Amino acid sequence: MKEEIWYLDSDFTKLPAKDVLKKTLEDDRKNYDRAISELKQEIQILDEAIILFIQSLQVTYIQIDKWKTNNSNRASIAMLTSILNYILVARHMVIFGYFPEVQEILRSCYERTSRGYLFFYSLKYANKFLSGKQIQPKTVDEELSELEKDPAKKSEIYKGLRQYYGYLSEVAHPNLKSFEYRYGSKDLSSRVGLDCLFGGVMSSKRGYIVITRVLQTTLSALRLFKAIIKDESGDWDTRFETLNKKCDEMVDNMQL
């Protein structure tokens, strides 16, 4: 991987800034070519999920007359449309090797997905969103856990939601942990800021992991469409379950 990153073998401070940008963009193009070659199968699975997402959104807007006066649906669909944009950005970032920066995109997707579910089930919070009022992540998690009737499970769901959001925030916020994808975990505190690492860094291993996480995020948001779209043919469910199975296999392979 070292020879793929030009400034690791040279002193970038000796070049004019315009040449630094030029070489960085050339590296990004090499990362793109390698990703398309080495991660072809994983990118194809992710694209299948994105295609299902787009088709689901198309059907939703074809049926707009059925839900445009329903604020719960409208607020949820606003979140889903925003999520699609973030997923597309994440796909671009993965292919060009910007793995660390994808983490913040995934947190934004999670925030929109959790709100999408809350708005679908709660007209009160859908109206709050549409009126421009702020809704804190903790409140979203509290309200989602309240949908569970079993008190014991309710507590566990809330705890799980808070822990997952905490993890996403840890790797997205600009603290030391968030620099691991750039620097690695070894001697991180003594190296951060001294090694100047910027631009894309292509790695098939890391790319596989990040694509899997983007796929998981996409599927999590797609589940909300199942509540909105009434597909009597069963085709949507079949395609979703096929993608879900492929994602589970990718997760299993990631843990080997």
pLDDT the model gives residue 83: 96
- CA distances 33 to 3, 29, 38, 81, 187, Å, are 15, 6, 9, 29, 32
Count of CB atoms situated within 10 Å of the CB of 149: 7
Token code pair at residue 238: 């079949």
- Which one, of 5, 7, 63, 66, lies nearest residue 34 by Cα? 5
- CA distances 76 to 81, 144, 255, Å, are 9, 14, 33
pLDDT the model gives residue 3: 37
List helix spans (H) across the chain: 17-38, 40-62, 64-67, 71-95, 99-121, 123-130, 137-145, 151-172, 180-183, 188-191, 204-228, 235-254
**What is the DSSP code (8-state) at residue 200?**
-
pLDDT the model gives residue 256: 55
Whole-model pTM? 0.88
Domain ranges of the chain: 12-254
Q: Which residues lie closer than 8 Å to 133 by C-beta, 6 or more apart?
A: none
What φ, ψ does residue 195 adopt, rounded to 5°?
Answer: -85, 125
pLDDT the model gives residue 245: 96
Q: How far apart are CA 231 and CA 252, in angstroms?
A: 30
> What digits encode the pLDDT tens for the residues 211-225?
999 999 999 999 988
> What digits encode the pLDDT tens for the residues 196-206?
788 887 778 88
Q: Could you give the angle at which helices 40-62 and 204-228 cross, rounded to 10 degrees?
A: 20
From first to last of its 256 residues, what are the pLDDT tens digits of the chain? 333 454 455 667 888 999 888 888 888 898 899 899 989 999 999 999 999 999 999 999 999 999 999 999 999 999 999 999 999 999 999 999 898 889 889 999 999 999 999 999 999 999 999 999 999 989 998 998 888 888 778 788 878 888 877 877 777 778 888 888 778 788 889 988 887 788 887 778 888 989 999 999 999 999 988 888 777 677 999 999 999 999 999 999 886 5
Contact 225, 80 (CB under 8 A): yes
